Amino acid sequence: MAINRHILLGVSGGIAAYKAAELVRLLRKQGDEVRVVMTESATQFVSPLTFQALSGNSVHTELLNAQEENAMGHINLARWADVLLIAPATANIIAKCSHGLADDLLSTLYLAVSCPVYIAPAMNQAMWSKTVTQENVAKLKGQGVTIIGPESGEQACGDTGFGRMSEPAFICEQLVAKPVERCLQGLTVLISAGPTREPIDPVRYITNRSSGKMGYALAHAALKAGATVIYVETAAEMYEAVMAKASGCDIYIGTAAVADYSPDVIQPQKIKKHASQTTIILQKTKDILAAVAKLDSCPFTVGFAAETENLEAYAQHKLHEKNLDMIAANWVGREQGGFDSEQNALQVFWKTGQKNLAMMNKTQLAEQLILLCAERFNEKNTT
Ligand code: C5P
């Protein structure tokens, strides 16, 4: 499976630098693009040519080199990265990063990136266990860095103990799947969530089994992705609230299980139970999603389809009939997934393709869906 992340790999000067070569090979094999930054001492252990050949990109070694800055300046390199991985990380680079020193390219990049950072330390066991090193590592963790390893075992210097860099395959596994962070940076996402309540009288309403969990998980994932989320809560005013905001948004996700019908008349007083039968006349509600998709300046519009039968056929029909950019369909009324469940699975359709997102918890699922929205949104806006 192609992962397609941009991995910025920082190699610092330790004997484990040779293992970083294998790391580049493994990352590329799984579909990642890799750019390598080496500290000056790393180049004493492994030639930049090795990394150039393995990564397919020229290697960056100097901060103050006009030629390198011309090709891809350090700020552009930082912006390019989806992940910064420093492997091996010596005690020196750990100390520099933890204290915010920026006297070479790699330490400067640590300060310049806003993507997730992973550090795989590698050093002599005595250096690793030194209090100051442990304090520096704790500082990095406090800054949100993920530390991978080190492992215990025989070291190149002959010592035995903690300090060996983790194996490249293990490091690869630790890097999370494509990070959702920043994939919607600067965009405004409008998400409707939950059931609506259609009042019958002052104490009763018609509703459905939607819990709002999927919509709230999507709002959290969108926040993590860097978007500004405007919460829309009230059922009766959802149409007005959404329509008032939709034109100014980049993406609209209609997760809400909006009532299809609402009582024609709301009785001003509680209905008394005299009659043995009663009738409530229901009026069809306005379709918010279809109205958003009809706007002249419509956002990228994503609908949901909760179905008890013919999932794909109904979803495809809604995608075309409402003129949506994407629709996420899920089964409801089954044992697993759907309304009020912690888990769900989605079949996502757009006009030229589809993707199945397997049964998983709604938090993870929301991140996967946000990533998919970002991909489709970017494609629509670049073609
Ligand atoms: O046509 P159906 O109601 O099954 O389509 C579901 C999708 O349409 C959901 O995304 C839901 O939020 C949206 N919808 C809406 N307004 C309605 C009914 C449904 O926005 N009145």
pLDDT in tens, 257-287: 999 998 999 999 999 999 999 999 999 999 9
Check pLDDT > 60 for residue 117: yes
Probe residue for ligand 1, chosen from 253, 286, 287 as the CB with the greatest number of ligand atoms within 8 Å: 287
- Between these two residues, 363 and 201, which has the higher pLDDT value? 201
* Residue of 97, 157, 249, 298 marked active site: 157
How many angstroms separate the alpha carbon of residue 235 from the centre of ligand 1?
13
Question: Would you say the pTM of this structure is higher than 0.85?
Answer: no
CB 174 within 8 A of CB 148: yes
Task: Supply angle C-alpha 21, 22, 25, rounded to 5.
Answer: 95
Bridge pairing between strands 160-164 and 151-154: antiparallel
Helix locations, 247-339, DSSP H: 288-294, 311-321
Nearest CA, atom 21, ligand 1: 287
**More confident: 273 or 4:** 273
Q: Which two tokens stand for residue 251?
A: 């993406």
| CA distance linking residue 264 with residue 251, whole number of Å | 32
Measure Cα distances from 143 to 98, 114, 171 in Å: 8, 11, 20
